[in-house]
Chains A and B, each alone.
Chain A
């Protein structure tokens, strides 16, 4: 007797433990995806502008980044957190060199404090560490001409540093004239660099005759004024259309990835839904039991083909074929892209959809079938008017499950998508075709590609978890909806 009781208790304990572990797992998945996403919100926002003082006919008019005398005012160097860290900065050349080499000079200081400006502490560039969105940043910039300069005007030109776009920093950038040199009459200058990221301003010539006089030149201020909190800014940036996390001015806009994932899902469901449901209808309504018995294992075999293999199959055979097909006019370097991915995704998802749809169709009671047959309906009519409507909830559940699986499938996208984040473009037929066959990149493969080379617990790592969280929330919603439909199907029948 005691043995029975002990046995009962043991089994019960094991059951409860397993149940508890399941609940714990579910909560832990949620918690850790959220917790690791916190690192994304530790991000800082790099920015950089190039400013140069140029003569009217400067050869670098259009591309200031080529101008060797331009100053770079940037907050992009992770690690150099000291505000006055002058070690790596380029010092301003000596007065004599400037006189002979460079008639127009912009100079900057490590400090942003007017009173601490010193003539021997001037630099050509100023590179600081990026800051949080709340913090902002301020640079001082001196502009003056050398005595040897013989033009009668000079222009202050500015543009964003290469690969920097003011839209990807949550600041309001302003270039302001703090102080004009003595004896120069000029209207106050204040330029909003967000609205006018690239521009030029004519300034009356003012010459500095000695290093001490440098400080009396035009004094500008480039200010990055905070507009929002880091949390909000991170979310805002996350929704922007450019994903380039490894460039100097990192961009974490996941919109192209999300759209690519959604497009791949939509396209492959477009292929797989009619195919899958038709095959399921054949299997449940028309096929003889013998055929059905053969078909089920075949479906399982298809479902069991590893996705890596499917991806490899696609890249070796489908992609070259697509490339040949669309090579004219689109200059495809490979056939990898949305369409190739969606095609292999269809193969991947078909067995799931067929076997779930077939379950849903088989759950329709035979009385309905027989009643419809007794009314003299043909098979096609019975299917269309009776069986499909009766199985509707179950079929929707099957399709939703398929959607969730396609959305999260990684290896096929990784191998076949081509790996370049691109915004889909449907403005013209050519552009739409290009969107379909040119390389793209989805959310899951981005995580898989980049997680391997990322520094743990860095903002980039956090953003990858944020991507994972996005994917998880999306698939969770779809799965739960599918669960509800499945329950409804069970209740209906």
Chain B
């Protein structure tokens, strides 16, 4: 009796159950399709990166040699190396690092401590966020108008430092602010409870805690600044000068050759610089920037191990 009843029950339900099963199968198919699609996109991006790097490495590697990295160009740029450009890029990065790091960190502290409090700070917060997305060419224009022309720095290393500092400042400020906000409230409250002043808490507790995040932000924005030709296009760059590569106070007032500008000019004046040198310079620039990134990744992985 019972079995029969169950069987009829199944028979009665089977029609909509079948429909449900069909629908479920359809749902699962759709699920499989979509998830594969999403995974495929991820794979595609990864492949894209590797393809890009591989092609540039393939084209640039034959040029890369110790001589290429340490010699100045010869024979009207058509031979020799790119040392003056590497040196210029390093100089630009060094000054930008020295100027932008303290300013950016203190600016981030300012936002983290006083953000959301007054109307001015809210204005500042929104503006920094907007400045972080402002095109580099606008910074180039601004640097030209104010540092090169208004302050009479001329097209020089100094003007390039100032422009690049402004360019990388907003990103550093924002990452510092975010990193400071991740400091656990318990640590900060503990510091305050132990009788530290507000600023000591900040300096001794929140800042060390956030330091790895801040450094990562600084290095990444520095890498971006190093690879970006646009801000230094009118403010600091020269294609190549045969002047002696000495370092002195007067270096500050002279334009510097740098890798991104060398590539931009190499494109603008086709035929002057042979292709293999350009590819070599491309690879050098990428390696320079990736070296910085590797530093950032290293710092992050080390601190993650320490804290988590």
Contact = CB atoms under 8 A, between A and B. Distances in A.
A312 B107 contact: no
A401 interface: yes
B111 interface: yes
Nearest to B46: A298
Interface of B: 27-28, 30-31, 33-35, 37-42, 44-46, 48-49, 52-53, 55-56, 59, 102-107, 109-111, 113-114, 120-121, 123-124, 126-138, 140-142, 144-146, 149-150, 166, 169, 173, 197-200, 202-203, 220, 223-224, 226-230, 233-234, 260, 263-264, 267, 275, 278, 282, 285-286, 289-290, 292-293, 296-297
Contacts of B55: 313, 317
A254 interface: no
B149 A471 contact: no
A297 B297 contact: yes
B60 to A, nearest CB: 10
B42 A283 contact: yes
A287 interface: yes
A456 interface: yes
A396 B79 CA distance: 49
A303 to B, nearest CB: 8
Given A19-B114, A32-B146, A308 B263 contact: yes
A476 B129 CA distance: 9
Given A307-B228, A308-B227, A26 B131 contact: yes
Interface residues of A, number: 92
A468 B49 contact: no
A378 B133 contact: no
Prevailing SS type, chain B contact patch = helix
Interface of A: 4-5, 7-8, 11-12, 14-19, 21-23, 25-26, 28-29, 32-33, 35-36, 274-275, 278-279, 281-283, 285-287, 295, 297-302, 304-313, 315-317, 347, 350-351, 354, 378-381, 383-384, 401, 404-405, 407-411, 414-415, 444, 447-448, 451-452, 456, 464-465, 468, 471-472, 475-476, 478-480, 482-483, 486
A302 B45 contact: yes
A350 B48 contact: yes
Contact of B38 (A286, A312, A315, A410): A286
A33 to B, nearest CB: 7
B134 A313 contact: no
A12 B30 CA distance: 58
26 contacts: A8-B199, A11-B199, A11-B203, A16-B110, A18-B106, A19-B114, A19-B124, A29-B134, A29-B166, A282-B41, A285-B38, A301-B49, A306-B227, A306-B289, A307-B229, A312-B282, A354-B45, A384-B34, A404-B134, A408-B134, A408-B138, A411-B228, A444-B137, A447-B140, A451-B233, A475-B138
Contacts of B52: 302, 305, 310, 313, 347
Nearest to B53: A301
A377 B45 CA distance: 28
